Amino acid sequence: MNSIPSSEVLIIGAGPAGLMLANILGMYGRSVTVLEARDELIDYPRGVGLDDESLRTIQTVGLVDTVLPHTAPQHIMRLVNGSGKTIMINNPQTREFGWDRKHAFIQPEVDKALYAGLAQYPNINVHFGHLVEDVIEDAAGVTAIARVTNADGTETEHRFSAQYLVGCEGGKSPTRKRMGVSFEGDSPSTRWLVVDVDNDPLGTPNVFLGADPKRPYVSIGLPHAVRRWEFMLHDHEDESVVTSKEWVAEMLKDHVPDPHNLSYIRRRVFTHHGRVAGSFRKGRQLIAGDAAHLMPVWMGQGWNSGMRDATNLGWKLTSVLTGTAGEDILDTYTSERKDHAKAMVDLSMTLGSVIKITNPLAVAARDAASSVLNLFPSAKSYFSDMRFKPMPRYTAGVLADPTTQASGTAAAKLTSKLIPVKTANRKVSPVGVQFPQPRVNSQLDENLLLDDVIGNWWTVLVWGNDPKDVLPAHSIKALEALGAKLVALVPETQREWAQEHMSEDVLVLGDHTGAVKKWFDERPTPMIFLRPDRFVAGACLHQHGPATLQAILDSMGSAADHSPSKAQDSALAV
């Protein structure tokens, strides 16, 4: 038995969620050990859709330039009926978060980029061929017992200790089972055949969801000249038969001029699952990615949901490890992520049920309804702009209510009777949602994405004013202890003046497009407390700033007020 030097966090599973979480923790200077049962990363295609939210996280950890070559932006989806008629188009145009909303991608290549990114962090160690068979947890931490098969066939037991363990081992997660939490949902019996080929014989980009009652299908153009098809299988069709070249060629005869001359990457049968764990944390063990939720492929949200988990959890683990937050902040990982994961599962299941309709009368009704809806611009844009996709909105967690300044909660609407609120264009609160990523000018450069300028930790954004002029000294001291960056956003015409007259340690950014001013014009919240994951923890008028900040700190169980020297040391690490 070998004992390895301890680390702060153990991650089990070198899949996308585990790799991204390791990158985030590495970026914050934390020590991490990743244990993977396989001898190498999975090298066959799986996920094919990458959202703007995920790309924003990839941008944060500095890997966007290595990931983009394996993506195709503006991935348009067309839902077509059995006659090949388009009944719905999904083509969102927004770049709200700094990137196109939808990208196709080659998962093995992007996962490799995430793995390669870990090499820059000396405190991150990845061990392949380590099968974790048991975990011992006590008040001080966790110990994972892993079995390693040596080159000569003998086996060795290795023990790895850490303060926390995160299971990212997929849908059959042993960590989730050890935690004893439920995994509720459905696993429909419907099977699908997935076929990936090189040298795309069609060459058309984008996605076609074939709602054909005879046999629903999917056809997807991917980067690197890869084409994917998926076909729904009938109950009587045997797996050993449907994966043969002859059977696949028969399936593809209506899709490809010559289905017998293809370069196959894989032919594989799979079943969709729609499940969410009852809790994402128990004690010192947590779960992320498919270990926490499984969802059908229709919305392309499995990989992206794992990225959201890592983005939410990474800064919270860092906050606990550095003393800027109490351990209870880890419970907000479940309260913030579970409901959205379930919403994505439910939407994916619903879309799948629309595509899989085989009853002729139901098919006719669906196609007729879509034709009518397409006559109405508002209904048509609802689908085209992807507004049916539930965006994350946190109502309980690391938040402060924008009206009452209550800690740990945030109503979706502003209800204050103050004139600035009553007269605002939008009464929907920005608290609990992701802040947009506009382009701005700084003293050093122009037309920069916001996140590249403000860094990767807490930020206070104030429109048109110096944060130090509108917050009292005790609030500034608490923000310094938290390691927060103070930012003034001003019209580009005022940037030079602001740089001369505002505090030296306040970052001044110029709004040269007008997008930032428009955002603040429509919302009576000129002060934003931005979390490291780019979600808004608090938004308020200036005079509510101190109370809002204190509510946020209370929701973190923050140690910042009580141990400023420790928190300031922590800020240096991030």
| Calpha distance 190→353 (Å, rounded) | 11
* Ordered alpha helix ranges (H), 238-301: 239-242, 245-251
pLDDT under 50: residue ranges of the chain = 372-373, 375-376, 378-388, 559-574
Phi, psi of 327 (to 5 degrees): -65, -25
| Calpha distance 568→564 (Å, rounded) | 6
Tokens of 58: 């990839």
| Calpha distance 241→231 (Å, rounded) | 14
**3-class SS of residue 101:** coil
Q: State the pLDDT at residue 295.
A: 80
How far is residue 532 from each of residues 11, 56, 483, measured CA to CA in Å? Answer: 21, 12, 11
Q: State the pLDDT at residue 388.
A: 47
| Calpha distance 166→168 (Å, rounded) | 6
Task: Answer for the pair 12, 144: CB distance below 8 angstroms, yes or no.
Answer: yes
What's the whole-model pTM score?
0.90
| Calpha distance 35→43 (Å, rounded) | 18
Helix (H) or strand (E) holding 9: strand 2-12
Angle at 21 between CA 17 and CA 24, to 5 degrees: 145
Could you give the domains of the chain? 2-71+104-182+276-336 (3.50.50.60), 191-271 (3.30.9.10), 396-573 (3.40.30.10)
Task: Answer for the pair 390, 344: CB distance below 8 angstroms, yes or no.
Answer: yes
Task: Answer for the pair 227, 196: CB distance below 8 angstroms, yes or no.
Answer: yes
| Calpha distance 324→483 (Å, rounded) | 9
Helix (H) or strand (E) holding 313: helix 302-322
| Calpha distance 285→474 (Å, rounded) | 36
Tokens of 442: 């700084």
A 10 A CB-CB count for 341 gives 24
Tens digits of residue pLDDT in 12-26 = 999 999 999 999 999
| Calpha distance 226→319 (Å, rounded) | 41
